[in-house]
Copies of this chain bind each other. A is one copy, B any other.
Amino acid sequence: MARAQVSEITLRVAYADTDRMGVAHHARYAVWLEMARTEHLRATGTSYREVEDAGLMLSVVALAVRYRAPARYDDLVRVRCWVREVASRRVSFGYAVERAQTGELLATATTDLIATDRRFSVTRVPDGLVRVLEPSPDPVRL
């Protein structure tokens, strides 16, 4: 992922994602961000499943979302994802959630993850992972 440091996925707002307002429920965005983060890791040549199977877990310790416009049922939604910062025990990701057809910004978000072992003891992010998680400037204002 030498150049394309901002990855993207596209998903469709499912009926089960909607709530009584007829739009995607705000809790679903946390799942979409996770899906985008997973594909971001895959695009760097690793996979989170392999990371976790090797005994390392990346646990979300902070989540912040700003909702700007509703995602409606059956909309195609694009989630862009990038690394904001990598420290020895923590990785921060940024996200832009957009209506795919118009590019309208629906939400921006950040998540901070820490590396732990299987017993949730904090550990170092392995060098191999640090190397591929190249930070990118924010492509949108968060």
Interface residues of A (CB under 8 A from B): 12, 14-16, 18-22, 25-28, 30-31, 34-35, 38, 47-49, 52, 57, 59-68, 70, 73-74, 120
Contacts and interface: CB of A to CB of B under 8 A. Distances in A.
Contacts of A68: 61
A74 B59 contact: no
A45 to B, nearest CB: 15
A93 to B, nearest CB: 13
A11 to B, nearest CB: 9
6 nearest A-B pairs in the assembled complex, by CB-CB distance: A27-B30, A49-B74, A18-B20, A64-B64, A16-B31, A26-B60
A19 B15 contact: yes
A62 B59 CA distance: 21
Contacts of A16: 19, 25, 27, 30-31, 34
28 contacts: A12-B35, A14-B31, A14-B38, A15-B25, A15-B38, A15-B48, A16-B19, A16-B27, A16-B31, A18-B19, A18-B20, A19-B20, A20-B20, A20-B73, A27-B27, A27-B31, A30-B30, A48-B74, A49-B74, A59-B67, A59-B70, A61-B68, A62-B64, A62-B66, A63-B63, A64-B64, A64-B65, A70-B120
